[in-house]
Amino acid sequence: MEDLVSLLKKLPGIGRRSAERLAFHILTAPSDEALALADAIRHLKTTARYCSRCFNFAEDDLCYICTDAKRDSSKICVVEQPKDVILLESSGLYNGLYHVLMGCIDPLSGVGPDAIKMDNLLERAADDGVKEIILATNPTAAGDGTALYIAEQLAKVSIKITRLARGLASGGSLEYASRNTLADAFGGRRDMR
């Protein structure tokens, strides 16, 4: 029991009291339910990897979004982390493709342009079918700086480059935006040139 509590305590947002409550719940839950949780964690950790095209979470070489023929492949939405894809997908507002940077440029923390998946994005943007790149990095100083850097890097490619509108609270992250705020941000996205 103590092992489980100390492991649960490592999860984000879980303190000692919550960890104890969860551990007690698991202890008293039906066996198949508790073991299904253990199996789901094992399955996720042994099969999950990153999509070789967009760096979203994937179970195969390409993620389920990249392989979906019904998605609008003329749009690429650029986000910082795979969890941003999950968030935007749950909002149901967007039907294009994604590109996950796996971070952002943050000079104050010594993180330079090499840390983001920029080369892959340049390659994808050069594809004839791509008409718009939507920069959806977080509305923080680092996220804004990263968006600016990407817009500069894409200067030679003649496609539309937009940034999500400022309905999003400055300094916040996509994670805490409501669906309405995200809808406004998508609807009011503005050209970066």
> What does the per-residue mask of binding to Zn ion show for 132-161, with x meaning CB under 5 A?
------------------------------
Give CA–CA dist 178/165, Å, rounded: 14
Per CB under 5 A, 56 contacts Zn ion:
yes
Give CA–CA dist 19/107, Å, rounded: 36
Residue 67: partners with Cβ closer than 8 Å, 6 or more residues away: 60
Closest approach of Cβ 81 to Zn ion, in Å? 14
Per CB under 5 A, 77 contacts Zn ion:
no
User: How many residues lie near Zn ion (CB under 5 A)?
Assistant: 6
Buried b (16+ CB within 10 A) or exposed e, 106-125: beeeeeeeebbbbebbeebb
Buried b (16+ CB within 10 A) or exposed e, 136-149: bbbbbebbbbbbeb
Cβ proximity to Zn ion, 58 vs 168, nearer residue: 58
Interface with Zn ion by CB under 5 A: which range of 22-30, 54-62, 106-114, 136-144?
A: 54-62
Per CB under 5 A, 101 contacts Zn ion:
no
Per CB under 5 A, 63 contacts Zn ion:
yes
Q: Among residues 8, 19, 23, 51, which is the contact residue for Zn ion, using CB under 5 A?
A: 51
The contact set with Zn ion (CB under 5 A) reads 51, 53-54, 56, 63, 66
